[in-house]
Amino acid sequence: MSHGKTIRIYLADGSPTGIRHAELVNWTGQAIVCPRARIGELAAWEESKRPGVYVLFGEDETATKPRAYIGEAENVLDRLQSHIKNKDFWDRVVLFTSKDANLTKAHVKYLEARFIQLAIEAARMVLENGNAPQLPALPRPDRDAMEDFLEPARILLSALGFPLLQPLVKKASIETSGKAGPLASIRLFFKVPKLGVDAQGAATDEGFVVFAGSLGAARIQDYLNQGWKDRREELQADGSLVVERDNVRFTRDVLFSSASAAAAIVCGGSRNGREVWKTKTGKTLKVLEEELTGAEPGKAQTSDG
In a domain, 298, yes or no: no
Task: Identify whether residues 72 and 114 lie together within a single domain.
Answer: yes
CB 76 within 8 A of CB 95: yes
Contacts of 72 (CB under 8 A, 6+ apart): 51, 52, 53, 54, 108, 109, 111, 112
Let me know: does 6 contact 25? Beta carbons within 8 Å. Answer: yes
Q: Is residue 301 part of a domain?
A: no
Q: Range of 269's domain?
A: 171-293
The answer to whether residues 93 and 207 belong to one domain is no
Residue 233 lies in a domain: yes
Judge if 31 and 59 occupy the same domain: yes
* Domain contains 300: no
In angstroms, the CA 224 to CA 270 distance is 6
Count how many Cα atoms sit within 13 Å of the Cα of residue 58 in the half-sphere of its side chain. 16
**End residue of a domain, out of 159, 194, 210:** 159
Per-residue confidence (pLDDT) for residue 177, from 0 to 100: 47
Judgement on whether residues 220 and 251 belong to the same structural domain of the protein: yes
CB atoms within 10 A of CB 158: 14
Q: 188, 201 in Cβ contact below 8 A?
A: yes
- Amino acid identity, position 49: K
Whether the CB-CB separation of 212 and 199 falls below 8 Å is answered with no
Residues 6+ apart with CB under 8 A from 128: 56, 67, 68, 69, 87, 89
Q: According to the model, what pLDDT value does residue 33 have? A: 98
**Which amino acid appears at position 170 of this protein?**
K
Tell me phi and psi for residue 245, to 5 degrees.
60, -115
Question: Looking at the domain assignment, is residue 164 inside a domain?
Answer: no
What was the pLDDT predicted at 303? 36
pLDDT of residue 102: 87
Same structural domain, 13 and 122: yes
> How many domains does the structure of the chain reveal?
2
Among 159, 193, 220, which residue terminates a domain? 159
Do 272 and 130 fall within a single domain? no
Q: Is residue 20 part of a domain?
A: yes
pTM to 2 decimals? 0.81
Indicate if 140 and 255 belong to the same structural domain: no
- Report the 10 Å Cβ neighbour count for 78: 11
Q: Is 104 exposed, middle or buried (0-12, 13-18, 19+ CB in 10 A)?
A: middle
* pLDDT for res 223: 85
pLDDT averaged per 10 residues, the chain (length 305): 86 94 95 97 96 94 83 97 94 96 93 95 90 89 96 95 89 54 83 94 93 94 87 90 93 94 94 95 93 65 37
Q: Are 92 and 119 in contact (CB under 8 A)?
A: no
